[in-house]
Amino acid sequence: MRKKQVNLYQGTALAIAHMTDAARFQTLCDRLLEAHWQYELHPRGISEHGTVPGQPDSWGWDSNRRVCAFQYGICTRASWPGKLQDDLEEVNSIEGFLPEMFAFCTNCSISPNKEREWQAKAKNLYGWELRIIGVLEFANALDTSQQGIRKDMLGIEVEHHNWESFLAACHEQRQRQYNQYSGKYDSSLYVQRQAEQKVQTWYRQMAASLPQEKPQAGRLAIVDQAGSGKTNIVFHLAEEFGSKAPVIIIPGNIIITDQHTLEREIVESVNYPVDDRTYHAEIHELCRLAQSKGFPLLVILDGVDENSEPTKLRTAIEYLWSVCQNYPFLLLVTCRDAFWPLIQSPLWRNLSGKPPHGSYVIPLGGYNDDEFRKACKCYFSKYNVQVQLGYEAGQRLRSPLLLSIFAEGNQNSSPKLVGSIVDKDLWRKYLVVKRDAVYEAMERSIPHQAIQEVIENLALLMVREAKRLNHPRYHLA
């Protein structure tokens, strides 16, 4: 359960007060001095052996371009004045270093009277402005605008993101998804698709509209047959948009427990605790944070056809849309065409309004001529395929999945001309490649024949399911 806020804040101060690692404390201070107090730092005095003699712990400039010296002390309430005195004298003895301002960072509490006393001493003795930053001031910064640093350095969960911690959380979430899709998505084989321009336009029009008007969410679905490259295009776009803006990827096979599942997944994806949360408010906070930087929050729901309970997923999508429709929020869904009637609702067919508002469904299609040439170059290079494709074969392999199967099945081949593609031959090559991959993944514990039978049965079930979903009665969404 989430702790009460007052206990959380007390925990931050206690965690700092109990720090014993001087290098870690300096790192914490340096990050806060830059991120929260906007100093420009040059940490140069710390090494694996401790402070370097003849140098300040750190030095830099404040917002007025005054030279500053920064010293750090893990102290007790009784010992910090002695440490400060030693540091003042040490910095004053550095030849050629003439700071105008001196900052002393400590993990203990500082009384206002003592701070004023030492400020007067520093001014009288050295002509420096003295700033003492104690544990409570550090804790206040960490508990308000710098909760991302608090999580990194102290392991205390984020309650409210700033822009930097929000982007970092989204990046971490996407990396987890990329790892799960390691066998399905290979960025080195990606070829820019024509449909990509439509998604980019949809995204950029939303971003351009944010300063001028009241936000209104948009959603777009990429719907096409299996193997058309839907996951590849959205993962590529997630990398592109996510380099500067918040992007979250949710797998379509997510277990749907109730209509709040997608809301809860978004909140949990950015490392917010889910207990006792008001999901609407948290998503609204994230969207407003993104809007303040000129971006929408983009959520990608990839491969909804892989969900075992499409009716519940459809309900969760519609509920999420009802919650976010007046937020700077974009939902991008990918789905196989045979499965789409089970997910589509009347709202997806509402094409009223100008982009990016409303709902839009676009196909992906096969590679065009230019895309196909680039894709062949990528795949043939990776798998050392030394073949020349005839016209008929080139038309047959316009599907990214079929081209991938062909390249894997013909890797390290001798130079030859392939005039046409036979489906049965392509399937046999695909079956061998996948059977061997599963055999190795299972540490050779299952016989080849057993693996092959499972793959063949799954393929048969997929064919039957595709025929069933293409029946007219499934198109009455």
37: left (phi over 0), alpha (psi -120 to 50) or beta: alpha
Task: Please count the residues of the chain.
Answer: 477
Spatial strand order in the sheet of 101-106: 40-43, 58-61, 67-73, 101-106, 129-133
* Domain range list for the chain: 5-154, 163-362, 367-421, 423-477
pTM higher than 0.85: no
Q: What is the CA radius of gyration of the chain?
A: 29
How far is the first Cα of the chain from the last one, in angstroms, to the nearest whole number? 40
Task: Encode the chain (477 residues) as per-residue pLDDT tens digits.
Answer: 344 444 445 689 999 999 999 989 999 999 999 989 999 987 654 444 445 566 788 889 999 999 999 999 998 888 999 999 999 999 999 988 899 999 999 999 999 999 999 999 999 999 999 999 999 999 999 988 888 888 889 988 878 888 988 999 999 999 999 888 766 778 888 999 999 999 999 999 898 888 766 778 888 999 998 888 999 999 999 999 999 999 999 999 999 999 999 999 999 998 887 765 667 888 998 999 999 999 999 999 999 999 999 999 999 999 999 889 889 999 999 999 888 988 887 766 654 445 555 568 899 889 999 999 999 999 999 999 998 999 988 898 998 888 988 888 888 888 888 888 776 677 777 777 777 777 877 778 888 888 878 877 776 776 666 566 554 443 333
Q: What is each CA distance from 231 to 249, 317, 379, 401, 406, in whole angstroms? A: 11, 19, 17, 11, 19
Contacts of 199 (CB under 8 A, 6+ apart): 220, 222, 233, 237, 332, 362
CATH architecture of the domain covering 163-362: 3-Layer(aba) Sandwich (3.40)
In degrees, to the nearest 5, what angle opens at C-alpha 287 toward C-alphas 267 and 316?
50
Type of residue numbered 340: W
Q: Do domains 5-154 and 163-362 have the same CATH topology?
A: no
Rounded Cα gap, residues 413 and 237, in angstroms: 33
Query: 5-154 has which fold?
Result: Trna Endonuclease; Chain: A, domain 1 (3.40.1350)
Contact 330, 218 (CB under 8 A): yes
Contacts of 179 (CB under 8 A, 6+ apart): none
Select from 242, 239, 234 the least CA-distant residue to 168.
242
